[in-house]
Amino acid sequence: MSDDEQQIRTLIEQWAAAVHTGDMDRVLADHAEDIVMFDVPPPQEGVRGIDAYRESWPGFFDWQASGATFDILELDVTAGSDVAYAYALLRCATRQQAAERPEVRLRLTVGLRKEHGRWVVAHEHHSFPDTSGDS
């Protein structure tokens, strides 16, 4: 693993830990001012810019504080000299949800770029598989 890939792995792990604890400053750290995030809940066109990104988190933090998990299970990073991407599978569920559907994972894709010598997240995409047709 390259130094850049290790830096990005650490950045994402620290972000996930901050999401789990509801630490807004750490969630926002290392994110680009013009970030675009496509998330599970609306708006379907995504949130654009760091202010909109910040505003998207409080409801999730409230849900998370009820005892839900947000744990990285798998993380893969590929880095070039000035752009990188990562994908991950996370357990993101309440105790009841995890008991009922232990196989369901949150899918995360992150696009990063180097700004002034440091990696920043320029894009996040969160999704769950469609399990509505499962029996």
Q: Looking at the predicted structure, is the pLDDT value of residue 98 above 70?
A: yes
Tens of pLDDT, residues 125-135: 999 887 776 65
**Residue 106 DSSP SS3:** strand
43 prior amide bond cis, ω within 30: yes
Measure the CA–CA gap between 1 and 77, rounded to whole angstroms: 9
**Residue 92 DSSP SS3:** coil
Measure the CA–CA gap between 35 and 120, rounded to whole angstroms: 9
Measure the CA–CA gap between 79 and 126, rounded to whole angstroms: 20
pLDDT, mean of residues 41-51: 91
Reported confidence tier of residue 1, pLDDT bands at 50, 70, 90: confident
Tens of pLDDT, residues 22-42: 999 999 999 999 999 998 888
